[in-house]
Structure formats: structure tokens, C-alpha cells
């Protein structure tokens, strides 16, 4: 027999307390002069032995009660007992199901081994122990039903996500906090993927804290994978892919292994069908990346899945990546010219027009982007809904009726670009478009007066949402810009000047998108229009507007899909399926209401691939793609030194094929006896009370 | 009359006692005419009946008139009206000092003796007083003089107990010394050897005395209501006893009731009145109850 609080055994010395009280009570009496002594003497003589016996019984009971209480508090543990309440432990089993756990191990994967380890742990837990089983992202409720827990282990699915093990540990510790069991055990079953232990010092410190009240076991599964080639980047070069027009797709392939790879084929699939010949990478050195250039052609003006695939290796999740793209066959842009000039070249929209359709005159009819130019006075006759985007170029005042139409147009999904110039009167824009309709997220403040002293240079922001080349932008000189004052509406800074002033601001309004530039679209305030960066800049803006609705259709595993749709779809149900797996059980979600739109929100996407959401009453499903976490592609695992450090606060156990379940639970000293002892203490206390009453009655 | 004496003569008690009067259970012989009739038919005042002459009768009591009429010899018999002597014997041992409240058993006994003395003297009967413990400590010879009352009160009030209890020798002594039959009233707690006490009573009864046994008890002695650990200190140099009364209460009650029952049964057997008195009982009520009982049983 062992004791978990051995020091409390000294409490047994407290049995002296009832003995002392007993003798003190015998000394505490009152003296009464008495005449009828003969009857008293007879009575005492008759009852003397009985009274002494009763006193001794009570004294022994009280001493036993105190001794047992001290014994109970010392938490005795007896080996070989099971099924008793005191023998239960509260256990939390965290099963790492991040992307790296999908690495192949023999016939299965690391996750297969992890499940086996979890079953072995469960089998070694005392019956009835409350157990919490959770994946790295899926906390569960504690359950005493080990069959249920066992089924939950099998339900933990492989993901293509990057795990935050610290978060998973915190969840597990929280789940243990409410458990009544005296001993708590935390099992983390993981492959020790170094990326998940990135903040190693933090995690190590936290494990040390947790180990103060909980026994931690780190169960390491799997062996280091010898090689892994993975897709580390997939970017379409074209912002506006046209129907049946080949467009470039840039792909980076990285060798995460320690040996070079040769003759690596990179395949392209459109809507699941192979497209063209695979790109061959002759040699891929360890730790390096190589780019592959693939050309895809989208067959119709709708959404398509573009997939890049490598040959399967031991780490399959990063061998395939899909994005969703929309092909356009006719993109119409309305250019509102606020300063037409005398000659065509003097027009405010001259460079814009050419940038939007950067092809020779004879090819413009076939080119998908079709710009149209109107003056402000002709705006009344234009039907805005015909256009994908409207550009206001140095327009002095926004006519009131046009402002109303423009707001409705953008809200319904249209795009707006604003280029200022010498004619622009800030009050008109600020009052109508910023103030009244809140179409512009910013207001114009004043013209820049010191432009002549120091020309500015435009630089992308850190996120560089337009994907512009910083070197090309650096060649552009901005002599004059219009200041912006941010308002209450959400907006993002897409480009800024080298002095920190905003250059390009983007925002959403309803289903539409708005870009506000702070300099001219012609050469009045800058030389942008004649620089190489101008054409991609304008095309990226247009691409951003046209594909605004699709911009959130490509998410990383674990991210929440938020896709805006028409406002009247709010409240409708949508069913999400994985494309190509029609047998899979669809998962339901409901479209929520947002400002001027509805939102398809879905946060249960854990695997890479293409998905479709079928909305009630809508003929065409919404297609979206999920990419695996790139961080999981690395092969590096925790080193021996790191495992040794973790061993200070946790028991590190290796688990592989053929490992023995005996590794788990061997630390347990046995079953605690507190529950039966507590019952005995309660019984003794009850007996003492009853006997004390019984003995003190008149006899 | 000092305060102690006045206390013994509670006017209410005495008034109730006078109202009810006192009838002796038996007719005793006495010197003076009173309400009590002598059992001896003698020569005195009042004719009782005729009895046929038998040899040895005093010829002076022959009724010659009857002889002349009937030619038979008849003796005249008379009833003589007489007074009685009451011997008040009060236990003055230390055990009588016990008091759970204001009044000790001795004080209660003294008041009872005072009341009886006043009552008897008021009826022009004679009273003798004895206060005893292991022997007679105070004794006032019989007297029917009402002035003697004050002496009785003084003796009662002035007595302070010092010794243990031995009732039997006192009763035997009274039986041996008092030749005239009278009423012997013993006021005590009778915490003594019952058999010896009963022998003394038997002796008195054998000599023709009426014996009234008045047992004075404290309510605590009857109920034994103590709790907790108590050390009992014997009043007559008995050893200390430390015990938990609650654990022996029933046993004590059994022993005490057995003692009382034995005393009561023995008194009935010897045709004595047994009167049990509690010190928390009002004295006039106790006295009135007894006198009423006595009147009802005297015929």
C-alpha cells in the first residue's frame, strides 16, 4: 500500500484528541451534596461495568474515526484493486490529426498509429474513468462510457490543417478541470512535427505548468518520412481568364526531403480532366523550390476547378492542390471621362482605355475586356447594369441622380474605380458618395501642395493584395496626390506611397467593390500611365472587381469560407459536398444576412480539395476550393534533445507498429481507497452518534 | 417569638389545621376531658353499659337498682372522656439538611412538627418533642400547657444537625420509656436500615401506640434529574461517588421506589399511617390532606 499524501499520515496522532477530551470530561464535573447515597451507591454498583464498557467503546470509536480520517486524507493506494470509485482517473487524450499525421506509415498513416495508441490508452484506463478524447481541432465532452470514447477515437478524421498544439492542450486541460477524479492524466499523441512545436519554449513551459497537477504523456507516433515533394504555391498569372484563352498558372514545387528528386512531373487538371502535358522538373535539390509554368484553358464562362498534382509520395496531402476560377468572355467597363480634352491623347481616359484592352485595334473585338467612354453629360442615358465596372476619371462633380444609381449599381455587385484629377471637387464626392451613400470608404481632403518638392514612389503593402511587382512600381513618380481621410466603413490599404500616405484603398459595398486611387489616370500628376506597371495595375483592379465575389472561394484548410451572395438568399439552407464524392454526407449550413448581401459561411473544412455548396432554390452550386496548409509539408520532427527536455515534465513514449499497451498506466500506483474509507468513516460517525445517544439514555 | 419561630407557625397552615381538627385514630387514655375517648371503660363520668358480674369484679361498681329489679348482679361500666399524648419525633440527622431548592427536608420537617404541636396543644392534648439523629438530641417532656408551645418552637428552631441517622434505637427507647399509650409521629427521610426502623415501629405498635410515619423527601431525591458528570458528596460522611446520573437514572428510580414501597407496605402491615411529603409541596396542603384522610378513616 502506498500513500499519495504520506505526510498526512501524521494526522493519525490526532487520536490523542478524543482521549484527552475523554479524560478532561471526566475531570469536568459538578459536586452535589447528596443524602440518598445508598440508592446511588446501589445504582452505580449495578451499572459500573456497563458504563465503563460504554465509555471505552465510544472512546475507541472516536479514536478510530480520527485515525481513519487521517488515513483517508493520506490517500492510500492499493495495488490490484479495480472498479472502485477511488480508482478512477480523469484522462484527456489529444490526438493530433494535423496534415502531417497523414504521412504514410506501413499500411496506414501516422493517424492510424495514433488511433491504435489512443485505443491502447483507453484499454488501460480503469473502468468508468471519465475520458475526454479530442482531435487537435475538435474538443469533445468527457464520457465514462469507454465504448463511446472508443468510437470517438475512430471518428477523429485526418485533416490537411496545421495544428495549434498549445490550443489543443489548453482545451484538454480545461476539460480535465471539471473532473472529480483524484488523478488526472493528459495524453498527447502526435508525430512531433516540428512546425506544430514551433513555439517550443512556450509549449515546454506550459507543459511544465500543467504537469504540476496532471500527469502528462507524450506519445510519439511514426518515423521520419524520407522524402516529400509538395506544391508550395499555385497562382494564376491572369486576373481575368477569358473563355478558351490559355492563361498561365505559376506553380512552385518544393523538395522538403534530404535527397534530390529528379524528373518530377507536374500535372494540370481542369475540372478533374488532364490539361496538356505535364511540366517536368529535371532536378529538385533538397530544401529548394522550382517553379513550373502551366497553361490552362477554361472552356466556358463559369466557375472551374484548376488542379495541379504531383505523383503521390509518403506525405500525400501536399501533392495536389485545387483552386476555383471563373472564366469571362465579355467584360464591359464604362469609363466616365471628366476631362476629354481636344485630342484623343489628351483625354483623361486615354491610357485607361488602352490599359484595359492592351491589344492592337484589330484584335479588340475579340478581346474580352471592352471599355466604353462617356462624358458626364451622357451618363443619364447609360444603363449601368450592363457594365462590370465603372471608372470615374477626373470627374468634377457627381450628379445627384447618378450618385443614387451608382450606389445601387455597386451594391448589386458592380465595381467602381475612382481616379482623381485637377477637375475633381472633393466636396461633391465627400457629400454624396462618402457621406450620403457611404459608397466611398474614405473622403478626399485636399490637393497635395508640396508635390513639386519631392516626388513620391508607390510601394505595395505587406499583403500586396493585387500581387503587383514592387520593382515596377518603384519606377513611377507621383508629383501630386489627393489626401484621403478614412471614414467609419471597413476598407483596406492596397498600395501606399513611400511617405506612408495611402495610394490605393479598396472596400466592399454590398456585393460590389470599390477602388479609390489618389492620383490621376493620365500624366497630369504622375508618369504612371506610361510605365510598365500601369497595365497590370489596371488589369488587377478590374480582375479584383470582376472576381470580387470569387475572391474568397479559395481558402486554406481550417479557415472559414465567407462568400457573399445576393441579399434575398439570406436564410436559405445550403448543403456542402466535396466535389467528386457525391456519396459523401452533405453538411448543412444556413446563409446569414449581411449589409446588402447574404453570406455563405462554412467553417468545417478540414481537407484540401474542391467543394460545392448547393443553395436551396438555386440552380447553380457555388464552387470553392480548399488548400492544405503549406506549413505541414516540412518533414522535420522534434529532435532527441527537445524530447529529452519535454521528458522533464512529461513521460515521453514512442508508439509504433507492434508497440505494447503495457506502456500506458504502468505509472499508476494502484487504486485509491478514499471512497470505501469515506463510507467507513461515515458509518463510524453514524454508529458513534447512535451509540452515544443509546448509552446516554436512562437505564 | 423570634423570626425563626414565627416561620414555623405559618398562620395559613395553622388555620387550615384548626379548621379540619384532628381526630385520633384510636381512643387513647388520658388525663383530661377532651374529644378523644378512652378505650378503657372505668369509673368516671359517663355511663357506658351493664355487664353481668363475675367473680373478682369490684363490688363497688354493682348496680343495686338493677339487682333490685331483676335479682341479678350487674356491674356498671363507664366511658371516660380523656386527652392523649402525642410524641413528635423529628429526624435531625445530616441527611435531612439536603435541599435542592430553598427549603431543606429538616426545615420542612420542623414546620410540620411545629404545626402538629400547635394543633395538638390547641386541642388541649399533650405534646412531647424529641429531635434525634443517632440518639435523642433534644427532648421536651409531655405537656398540655399551651405555654409549652414556645419551648417547642425554640427547640425546633435552634436545632442544628451534626450526626448520622439511627432511627431504630430512638423508637425502641420511646417505646420503653413511655408507658401511656399515645400517638408517636416520626418525621424523617428514613434513609436508614429499613428493617431496624420497622422493628422500632413494631415495638411502638406492640406497646399500643399509634404510629404515624411522615417521610419527608426532596423532589430531586425522587426524580434524580441530574445530567452530565456529577460528583455526589454524602451528607453523613459517606464516600464520594462520581457518575453520570443520566446513565443510572432508571436504576436509581427502581431502588428508591423499592425502598419507599417497602416502607409503605410495612406501615400498612403494622397499621401505621404512612405519609409521604415532598419539600416542594405546600405544607398546609400536605397537612390538610393528611388530616382529611385521618378523619375519613377514623369512623
Contact B241 A40 (CB under 8 A): yes
Q: Identify the DSSP state of A596.
A: T
Same-domain pairing of B202 and B282: yes
Q: Identify the DSSP state of A436.
A: I
The residue ranking higher by pLDDT, B56 or A495, is A495
Within 10 angstroms of residue B201's Cβ, the number of other Cβ atoms is 25
Within 10 angstroms of residue B136's Cβ, the number of other Cβ atoms is 16
C-alpha cell recorded at residue A255: 523538395
Structurally, at CATH architecture level, domain A331-550 sits in 3-Layer(aba) Sandwich (3.40)
How many whole angstroms separate alpha carbon B166 and alpha carbon B200? 11
Which among B231, B236, B241 has the least Cβ separation from residue A41? Answer: B241
Kindly report which listed range (A325-329, A445-449, B217-221) carries the lowest average pLDDT score: A445-449
Query: Residues A93, A187: contact at Cβ < 8 Å?
Result: yes
Q: Is A570 exposed, middle or buried (0-12, 13-18, 19+ CB in 10 A)?
A: middle
Backbone angles phi, psi at A111, to 5 degrees: -65, -35
Q: Is A498 exposed, middle or buried (0-12, 13-18, 19+ CB in 10 A)?
A: middle
Contact A47 B248 (CB under 8 A): yes
The alpha carbon of residue A26 is apart from the nearest alpha carbon of chain B, in Å, by 7
Contact A47 B251 (CB under 8 A): yes
C-alpha cell recorded at residue A609: 480539395
Same-domain pairing of B227 and B96: yes
Contact A54 B189 (CB under 8 A): no
Kindly report which listed range (A431-440, B26-35, B55-64) carries the lowest average pLDDT score: B26-35
How many whole angstroms separate alpha carbon B89 and alpha carbon B113? 8
Grouping H, G, I as helix, E, B as strand and the rest as coil, residue A244 is coil
Which residues of chain B have a CB within 8 Å of the CB of A698? 246-247, 249-250
The alpha carbon of residue B101 is apart from the nearest alpha carbon of chain A, in Å, by 13
User: What are the tens digits of pLDDT across the range A471-529?
Assistant: 889 999 999 999 999 888 889 999 999 988 899 999 988 878 999 999 999 999 999 99
The domain boundary, picked from B50, B66, B82, lies at B82
Same-domain pairing of B244 and B97: yes
Judge whether A46 is closer than 8 Å to chain B, CB to CB. yes
Judge whether A36 is closer than 8 Å to chain B, CB to CB. yes
Same-domain pairing of B77 and B151: no
Q: What's the domain count of chain B?
A: 2
Which residues of chain B have a CB within 8 Å of the CB of A41? 238, 241
Give the rounded percent of residues in chain A with a pLDDT score beyond 90. Answer: 38
Kindly report which listed range (A120-124, A212-216, A296-300, A592-596) carries the lowest average pLDDT score: A592-596
Query: Residues B42, B187: contact at Cβ < 8 Å?
Result: no
Whether the per-residue pLDDT at A237 is higher than 60: the answer is yes
Q: Identify the DSSP state of A317.
A: G
Q: Identify the DSSP state of A435.
A: I
Q: What value of ipTM does the predicted structure carry?
A: 0.74
Which among A36, A46, A699 has the least Cβ separation from residue B191? Answer: A36
Q: What's residue A115's pLDDT?
A: 93
How many whole angstroms separate alpha carbon B109 and alpha carbon B189? 9
Same-domain pairing of B222 and B132: yes
Three-point CA angle A403, A405, A406, nearest 5°: 60
Which of A239, A98, A111, A166 lies closest to A633 in space, CA to CA? A98
C-alpha torsion angle, residues A548, A552, A554, A555 (rounded to 10): 160
Kindly report which listed range (A181-185, A402-406, B13-17, B231-235) carries the lowest average pLDDT score: B13-17
Within 10 angstroms of residue B250's Cβ, the number of other Cβ atoms is 15
Q: Identify the DSSP state of A676.
A: H
Q: What's residue B36's pLDDT?
A: 45
Kindly report which listed range (A332-346, B55-69, B83-97) carries the lowest average pLDDT score: B55-69
Give the rounded percent of residues in chain B with a pLDDT score beyond 90. Answer: 26
What's the pTM? 0.55
Grouping H, G, I as helix, E, B as strand and the rest as coil, residue A248 is strand
Residue in this structure with the C-alpha cell 479584383, named with its chain if needed: A544
The alpha carbon of residue A693 is apart from the nearest alpha carbon of chain B, in Å, by 11
Tell me whether the CATH fold assigned to A85-224+637-668 matches the one assigned to A331-550: yes
Q: What is the DSSP string of A82-135?
A: -SSGGG-EEEEEEE--SGGGGSEETTEEHHHHHHHHHHHHHHHSPTT--EEEEE
Whether the per-residue pLDDT at B89 is higher than 90: the answer is yes
How many whole angstroms separate alpha carbon B96 and alpha carbon B106? 5
C-alpha cell recorded at residue B5: 419561630
How many whole angstroms separate alpha carbon A3 and alpha carbon A684? 22
Whether the per-residue pLDDT at A610 is higher than 80: the answer is yes
Judge whether A695 is closer than 8 Å to chain B, CB to CB. yes
Q: Over chain A, what is the mean pLDDT?
A: 87
Non-local (6+) Cβ contacts of A575 within 8 A are A586, A587, A588, A613, A614
How many whole angstroms separate alpha carbon A398 and alpha carbon B76? 167
Which of A699, A667, A597 lies closest to A77 in space, CA to CA? A667
How many whole angstroms separate alpha carbon B238 and alpha carbon A46? 18
Average pLDDT in the B79-95 region?
A: 78
Mean pLDDT: which of A282-286, A447-451, A604-608, B118-122 is highest? A282-286
Which neighbouring-strand residues pair with A610? A625
Average pLDDT in the A606-614 region?
A: 91
How many whole angstroms separate alpha carbon A545 and alpha carbon A387? 11
Determine the distance from the C-alpha atom of residue B123 to the mean position of all C-alpha atoms in its chain, rounded to a whole number: 16
Which residues of chain A have a CB within 8 Å of the CB of B232? 31-34, 37, 40
What is the domain partition of chain A in residue ranges?
2-79+675-695, 85-224+637-668, 229-328, 331-550, 554-627
Residue in this structure with the C-alpha cell 506509415, named with its chain if needed: A105
Which neighbouring-strand residues pair with A183? A89
Give the rounded percent of residues in chain B with a pLDDT score beyond 70. Answer: 80
The alpha carbon of residue A40 is apart from the nearest alpha carbon of chain B, in Å, by 6
Which residues of chain B have a CB within 8 Å of the CB of A699? 247-251
User: Range of B141's domain?
Assistant: 3-26+84-298
Grouping H, G, I as helix, E, B as strand and the rest as coil, residue A335 is strand
Q: What's residue A325's pLDDT?
A: 87
Res. A446 pLDDT band, cuts 50 70 90: low
Strands (E), A473-596: 482-486, 492-497, 502-509, 512-517, 554-556, 561-565, 573-578, 587-590, 592-594
Chain B residue nearest residue A26, CA to CA: B229
The residue ranking higher by pLDDT, A699 or A468, is A468
Backbone angles phi, psi at A271, to 5 degrees: 55, 40
Judge whether A21 is closer than 8 Å to chain B, CB to CB. no
Within 10 angstroms of residue B116's Cβ, the number of other Cβ atoms is 25
Contact B105 A697 (CB under 8 A): no
Query: Residues A332, A376: contact at Cβ < 8 Å?
Result: no
Q: Over chain B, what is the mean pLDDT?
A: 78
Judge whether A366 is closer than 8 Å to chain B, CB to CB. no
Determine the distance from the C-alpha atom of residue A266 to the mean position of all C-alpha atoms in its chain, rounded to a whole number: 29
Judge whether A60 is closer than 8 Å to chain B, CB to CB. no
Res. A339 pLDDT band, cuts 50 70 90: very high
Same-domain pairing of B45 and B163: no
Longest Cα separation, chain B: 87
User: What are the tens digits of pLDDT across the range A58-102?
Assistant: 899 999 999 998 888 887 777 655 555 556 788 999 999 999 999
Chain B residue nearest residue A37, CA to CA: B234
The alpha carbon of residue B86 is apart from the nearest alpha carbon of chain A, in Å, by 28
Sign of CA dihedral A64, A70, A74, A75: positive
How many whole angstroms separate alpha carbon B68 and alpha carbon B89? 54
Non-local (6+) Cβ contacts of A597 within 8 A are A510, A511, A564, A565, A566, A567
Same-domain pairing of B90 and B168: yes
C-alpha cell recorded at residue A442: 474614405
How many whole angstroms separate alpha carbon B85 and alpha carbon A547? 141
Determine the distance from the C-alpha atom of residue A94 to the mean position of all C-alpha atoms in its chain, rounded to a whole number: 17
Mean pLDDT: which of A176-185, A670-679, B237-246 is highest? B237-246
Which among B94, B96, B247 has the least Cβ separation from residue A699? Answer: B247
Within 10 angstroms of residue A161's Cβ, the number of other Cβ atoms is 26
Q: Within a domain: residue B31?
A: no
C-alpha cell recorded at residue A73: 486524507
Whether the per-residue pLDDT at A600 is higher than 70: the answer is yes
Same-domain pairing of B239 and B98: yes
The alpha carbon of residue A69 is apart from the nearest alpha carbon of chain B, in Å, by 28
User: What are the tens digits of pLDDT across the range A370-379?
Assistant: 999 999 989 8
Mean pLDDT: which of A504-518, A662-676, B277-291 is highest? A504-518
**CATH number of the domain encompassing residue B254:** 3.40.50.410
C-alpha cell recorded at residue A450: 508640396
Q: What's residue A393's pLDDT?
A: 95
Grouping H, G, I as helix, E, B as strand and the rest as coil, residue B234 is strand
How many whole angstroms separate alpha carbon A568 and alpha carbon A570? 5
Res. B17 pLDDT band, cuts 50 70 90: very low
Same-domain pairing of B8 and B51: no
Chain B residue nearest residue A31, CA to CA: B231
Non-local (6+) Cβ contacts of B132 within 8 A are B89, B90, B91, B92, B93, B167, B170
Q: Within a domain: residue B12?
A: yes
Whether the per-residue pLDDT at B82 is higher than 60: the answer is no
Average pLDDT in the A396-413 region?
A: 90
C-alpha cell recorded at residue A530: 506610361
Query: Residues A403, A336: contact at Cβ < 8 Å?
Result: no
Structurally, at CATH architecture level, domain A229-328 sits in Sandwich (2.60)
Same-domain pairing of B52 and B133: no
Q: What's residue A1's pLDDT?
A: 67
Contact B247 A696 (CB under 8 A): yes
How many whole angstroms separate alpha carbon A456 and alpha carbon A503? 10
Res. B184 pLDDT band, cuts 50 70 90: very high
C-alpha cell recorded at residue A665: 498506466
Which among A25, A37, A51 has the least Cβ separation from residue B232? Answer: A37
Whether the per-residue pLDDT at A448 is higher than 70: the answer is no
Grouping H, G, I as helix, E, B as strand and the rest as coil, residue A683 is helix
Q: What's residue B27's pLDDT?
A: 26
Q: What's residue B212's pLDDT?
A: 93
Backbone angles phi, psi at A106, to 5 degrees: 60, -125
Res. B16 pLDDT band, cuts 50 70 90: very low
Q: Within a domain: residue B232?
A: yes
C-alpha cell recorded at residue A214: 496532471
Contact A698 B250 (CB under 8 A): yes
Query: Residues B25, B273: contact at Cβ < 8 Å?
Result: yes
Q: Within a domain: residue B266?
A: yes
How many whole angstroms separate alpha carbon B49 and alpha carbon B38? 15
Kindly report which listed range (A104-113, A563-572, B281-290) carries the lowest average pLDDT score: B281-290
Contact A29 B246 (CB under 8 A): no
Which among B246, B247, B256 has the least Cβ separation from residue A39? Answer: B256
Query: Residues A107, A176: contact at Cβ < 8 Å?
Result: no
Radius of gyration of chain B (CA): 23
Which of A584, A619, A614 lies closest to A602 in space, CA to CA? A614
Q: Which fold has domain A85-224+637-668?
A: Rossmann fold (3.40.50)
Chain A residue nearest residue B241, CA to CA: A41
Same-domain pairing of B182 and B237: yes
User: What are the tens digits of pLDDT across the range B20-49?
Assistant: 333 322 322 332 334 444 433 333 334 557
Q: Give the count of Cβ contacts less than 8 A between chain A and B.
A: 102
Q: What's residue B45's pLDDT?
A: 39
Same-domain pairing of B56 and B172: no
User: What are the tens digits of pLDDT across the range A533-549?
Assistant: 999 899 889 988 887 76
How many whole angstroms separate alpha carbon A384 and alpha carbon A371? 13
Q: Is A372 exposed, middle or buried (0-12, 13-18, 19+ CB in 10 A)?
A: middle
Which neighbouring-strand residues pair with A189? A95, A219
Which among A30, A33, A699 has the least Cβ separation from residue B251? Answer: A699
Q: Identify the DSSP state of B26.
A: S
Superfamily of domain A554-627: Immunoglobulins (2.60.40.10)
Give the ranges where A434-587 is alpha helix by DSSP (H): 470-474, 534-546
Amino acid at each position: 500500500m502506498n500513500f499519495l499524501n504520506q505526510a498526512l499520515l501524521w494526522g493519525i496522532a490526532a487520536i490523542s484528541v478524543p482521549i484527552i477530551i475523554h479524560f478532561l470530561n471526566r475531570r469536568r464535573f459538578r459536586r452535589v451534596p447528596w443524602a440518598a447515597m445508598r440508592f446511588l451507591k446501589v445504582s452505580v454498583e449495578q451499572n459500573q461495568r456497563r458504563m465503563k464498557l460504554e465509555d471505552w467503546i465510544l472512546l475507541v470509536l472516536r479514536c478510530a474515526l480520527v485515525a481513519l480520517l487521517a488515513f483517508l486524507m493520506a490517500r492510500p493506494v492499493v495495488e490490484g484493486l479495480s472498479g472502485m470509485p477511488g480508482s478512477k482517473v480523469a484522462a484527456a487524450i489529444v490526438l493530433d490529426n494535423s496534415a502531417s499525421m497523414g504521412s504514410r506509415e506501413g499500411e496506414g498513416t501516422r493517424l492510424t498509429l495514433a488511433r491504435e495508441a489512443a485505443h491502447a490508452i483507453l484499454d488501460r484506463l480503469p473502468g468508468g474513468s471519465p475520458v475526454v478524447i479530442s482531435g487537435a481541432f475538435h474538443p469533445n465532452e468527457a464520457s465514462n462510457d469507454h465504448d463511446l470514447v472508443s468510437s470517438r477515437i475512430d471518428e477523429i478524421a485526418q485533416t490537411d490543417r496545421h495544428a495549434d498544439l498549445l490550443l489543443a492542450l489548453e482545451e484538454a486541460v480545461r476539460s480535465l478541470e471539471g473532473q472529480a477524479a483524484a488523478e488526472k492524466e493528459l495524453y498527447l499523441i502526435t508525430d512531433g512535427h516540428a512546425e506544430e512545436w514551433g513555439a517550443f519554449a512556450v509549449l515546454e513551459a506550459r507543459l511544465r505548468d500543467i504537469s504540476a497537477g496532471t500527469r502528462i504523456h507524450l506519445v510519439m507516433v511514426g518515423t521520419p518520412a524520407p522524402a516529400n515533394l509538395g506544391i508550395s504555391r499555385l497562382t494564376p498569372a491572369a486576373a481575368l481568364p477569358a473563355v478558351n484563352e490559355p492563361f498561365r498558372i505559376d506553380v512552385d514545387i518544393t523538395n522538403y526531403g534530404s535527397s534530390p528528386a529528379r524528373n518530377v512531373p507536374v500535372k494540370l487538371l481542369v475540372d478533374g480532366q488532364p490539361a496538356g502535358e505535364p511540366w517536368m522538373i529535371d532536378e529538385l535539390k533538397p530544401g529548394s523550390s522550382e517553379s513550373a509554368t502551366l497553361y490552362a484553358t477554361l472552356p466556358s464562362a463559369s466557375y472551374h476547378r484548376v488542379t495541379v498534382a504531383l505523383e503521390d509520395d509518403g506525405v500525400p496531402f501536399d501533392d495536389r492542390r485545387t483552386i476555383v476560377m471563373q472564366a469571362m468572355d465579355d467584360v464591359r467597363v464604362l469609363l466616365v471621362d471628366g476631362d476629354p480634352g481636344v485630342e484623343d491623347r489628351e483625354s483623361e481616359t486615354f491610357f485607361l482605355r488602352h490599359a484595359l484592352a492592351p491589344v492592337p485595334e484589330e484584335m479588340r473585338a475579340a478581346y474580352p475586356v471592352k471599355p466604353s467612354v462617356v462624358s458626364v453629360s451622357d451618363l443619364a442615358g447609360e444603363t449601368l447594369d450592363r457594365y462590370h465596372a465603372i471608372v470615374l476619371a477626373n470627374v468634377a462633380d457627381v450628379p445627384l441622380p447618378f450618385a443614387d444609381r451608382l450606389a445601387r449599381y455597386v451594391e448589386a455587385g458592380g465595381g467602381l474605380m475612382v481616379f482623381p484629377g485637377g477637375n475633381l471637387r472633393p466636396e461633391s464626392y465627400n457629400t454624396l458618395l462618402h457621406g450620403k451613400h457611404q459608397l466611398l470608404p474614405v473622403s478626399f481632403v485636399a490637393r497635395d501642395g508640396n508635390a513639386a518638392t519631392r516626388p513620391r514612389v508607390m510601394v505595395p503593402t505587406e499583403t500586396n493584395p493585387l500581387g503587383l511587382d514592387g520593382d515596377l512600381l518603384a519606377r513611377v513618380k507621383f508629383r501630386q496626390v489627393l489626401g484621403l481621410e478614412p471614414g467609419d466603413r471597413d476598407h483596406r490599404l492596397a498600395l501606399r506611397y513611400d511617405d506612408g500616405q495611402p495610394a490605393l484603398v479598396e472596400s466592399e459595398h454590398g456585393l460590389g467593390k470599390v477602388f479609390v486611387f489618389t492620383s490621376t489616370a493620365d500624366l497630369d500628376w504622375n508618369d504612371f500611365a506610361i510605365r510598365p506597371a500601369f497595365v497590370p495595375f489596371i488589369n488587377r483592379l478590374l480582375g479584383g472587381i470582376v472576381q470580387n465575389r470569387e475572391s474568397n472561394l479559395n481558402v486554406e484548410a481550417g479557415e472559414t469560407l465567407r462568400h457573399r451572395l445576393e441579399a434575398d438568399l439570406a436564410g436559405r439552407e445550403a448543403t456542402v459536398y466535396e466535389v467528386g464524392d457525391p456519396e459523401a454526407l452533405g453538411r448543412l449550413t444556413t446563409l446569414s444576412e449581411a449589409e446588402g448581401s447574404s453570406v455563405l459561411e462554412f467553417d468545417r473544412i478540414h481537407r484540401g480539395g474542391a467543394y460545392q455548396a448547393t443553395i436551396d432554390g438555386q440552380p447553380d452550386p457555388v464552387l470553392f476550393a480548399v488548400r492544405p496548409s503549406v506549413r505541414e509539408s516540412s518533414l522535420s520532427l522534434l529532435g532527441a534533445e527537445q524530447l529529452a527536455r519535454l521528458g522533464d515534465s512529461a513521460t515521453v513514449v514512442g508508439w509504433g507498429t507492434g508497440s505494447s499497451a503495457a506502456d500506458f498506466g504502468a505509472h499508476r500506483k494502484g487504486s485509491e481507497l478514499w471512497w470505501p474509507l469515506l463510507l467507513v468513516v461515515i458509518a463510524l460517525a453514524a454508529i458513534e452518534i447512535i451509540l452515544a445517544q443509546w448509552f446516554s439514555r436512562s437505564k | 417569638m423570634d423570626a425563626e419561630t414565627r416561620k414555623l407557625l405559618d398562620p395559613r397552615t395553622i388555620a387550615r389545621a384548626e379548621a379540619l381538627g384532628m381526630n385520633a385514630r384510636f381512643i387513647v387514655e388520658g388525663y383530661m376531658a377532651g374529644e378523644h375517648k378512652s378505650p378503657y371503660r372505668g369509673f368516671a363520668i359517663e355511663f357506658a353499659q351493664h355487664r353481668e358480674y363475675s367473680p373478682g369484679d369490684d363490688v363497688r361498681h354493682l348496680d343495686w337498682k338493677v339487682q333490685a329489679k331483676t335479682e341479678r348482679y350487674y356491674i356498671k361500666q363507664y366511658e371516660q372522656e380523656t386527652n392523649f399524648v402525642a410524641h413528635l419525633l423529628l429526624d435531625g440527622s445530616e441527611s435531612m439538611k439536603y435541599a435542592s431548592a430553598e427549603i431543606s427536608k429538616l426545615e420542612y420537617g420542623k414546620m410540620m412538627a411545629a404545626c402538629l404541636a400547635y394543633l395538638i396543644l390547641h386541642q388541649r392534648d399533650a405534646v412531647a418533642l424529641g429531635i434525634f439523629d443517632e440518639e435523642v438530641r433534644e427532648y421536651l417532656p409531655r405537656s398540655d400547657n399551651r405555654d409549652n408551645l414556645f419551648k417547642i418552637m425554640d427547640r425546633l428552631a435552634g436545632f442544628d444537625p451534626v450526626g448520622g441517622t439511627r432511627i431504630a434505637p430512638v423508637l425502641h427507647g420511646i417505646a420503653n420509656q413511655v408507658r401511656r399509650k399515645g400517638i408517636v409521629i416520626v418525621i424523617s427521610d428514613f434513609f436508614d436500615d429499613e428493617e431496624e426502623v420497622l422493628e422500632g415501629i413494631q415495638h411502638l405498635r406492640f406497646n399500643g401506640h399509634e404510629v404515624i410515619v411522615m417521610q419527608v423527601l426532596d423532589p430531586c431525591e425522587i426524580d434524580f434529574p441530574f445530567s452530565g458528570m456529577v460528583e455526589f458528596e454524602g451528607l453523613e460522611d459517606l464516600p464520594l461517588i462520581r457518575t453520570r446520573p443520566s446513565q443510572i437514572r432508571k436504576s436509581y428510580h427502581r431502588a428508591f421506589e423499592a425502598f419507599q414501597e417497602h416502607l409503605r407496605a410495612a406501615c400498612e402491615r403494622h397499621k401505621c399511617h404512612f405519609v409521604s411529603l415532598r419539600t416542594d409541596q405546600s405544607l398546609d396542603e400536605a397537612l390538610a390532606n393528611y388530616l382529611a384522610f385521618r378523619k375519613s378513616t377514623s369512623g
